[in-house]
């Protein structure tokens, strides 16, 4: 048995994807069932709930989401009266997005669920471990491997 054998379970991108998928599954089910939202829509909703009025570009930067995804998510959220769109009259290219009353209610509800969900996930970890995990994930989110290719 070679000791330097490559282990798939040790490959960080794989591990991260597995953990991300496993940990998202049940929560995804909740916003889908309750509000018929897709992941992109949920993300837009949460950004607006957290930061208030934003443009599509703002959300794109913060969430690292492509503008076409955002455009379509916003369209659907607006259609279902979760989001208001108001054009900036000083620069008619940009449009401000904000939650409607209904959007705010959905956000409040899902935020509460998310808090409990997060706590339940954390139960699998001890507190020190959880803290290190968060820090590490933030670092990894910043960028990929430094100038790999």
- The answer to the question of residue 129 lying near a second copy (CB under 8 A) is yes
7-15, 55-63, 101-109, 131-139 -> range binding DNA (CB under 7 A): 55-63
- The answer to the question of residue 94 lying near a second copy (CB under 8 A) is no
**Of a second copy, DNA, none, which one does residue 10 interact with (CB within 5 to 8 Å by kind)?**
a second copy
- The answer to the question of residue 116 lying near a second copy (CB under 8 A) is yes
**Of DNA, a second copy, none, which one does residue 102 interact with (CB within 5 to 8 Å by kind)?**
none
Q: Which of 17, 24, 68, 108 binds DNA (CB under 7 A)?
A: 68
Contacts to DNA from residues 26-45, by CB under 7 A: 38-40
Smallest separation (angstroms) from DNA to the CB of 100: 16
Burial class (CB in 10 A: 0-12, 13-18, 19+), 109: middle
- The answer to the question of residue 12 lying near DNA (CB under 7 A) is no
Q: What angle do CA 86, 92, 98 make, to 5 degrees?
A: 20
C-alpha to C-alpha distance for 105 and 109, rounded to whole angstroms? 6
C-alpha to C-alpha distance for 149 and 143, rounded to whole angstroms? 13
CB neighbours of residue 148 within 10 Å: 5
Q: Using the minimum distance from each CB to a second copy, give the nearer residue, 88 or 140.
A: 140
| Consecutive H or E run containing 40 | helix 39-51
**Of DNA, a second copy, none, which one does residue 75 interact with (CB within 5 to 8 Å by kind)?**
DNA
Find, among 47, 55, 41, 49, the residue nearest to 95 by Cα.
55
Smallest separation (angstroms) from a second copy to the CB of 79: 24
| Consecutive H or E run containing 15 | helix 12-35
């Amino acid at each position: 048995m070679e000791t330097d054998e490559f282990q798939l379970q040790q490959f960080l991108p794989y591990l991260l994807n597995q953990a991300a998928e496993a940990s998202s599954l049940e929560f995804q089910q909740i916003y889908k069932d309750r509000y018929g939202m897709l992941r992109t829509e949920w993300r837009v909703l949460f950004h607006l709930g957290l930061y208030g009025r934003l443009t599509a570009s703002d959300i794109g930067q913060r969430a690292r989401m492509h503008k076409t995804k955002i455009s379509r998510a916003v369209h659907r959220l607006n259609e279902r009266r979760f989001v208001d769109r108001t054009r900036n009259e000083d620069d008619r290219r940009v449009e401000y997005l904000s939650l409607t009353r209904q959007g705010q209610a959905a956000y409040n509800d899902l935020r509460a669920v998310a808090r409990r969900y997060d706590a339940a996930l954390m139960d699998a970890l001890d507190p020190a471990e959880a803290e290190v995990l968060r820090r590490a994930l933030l670092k990894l989110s910043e960028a990929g491997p430094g100038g790999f290719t």
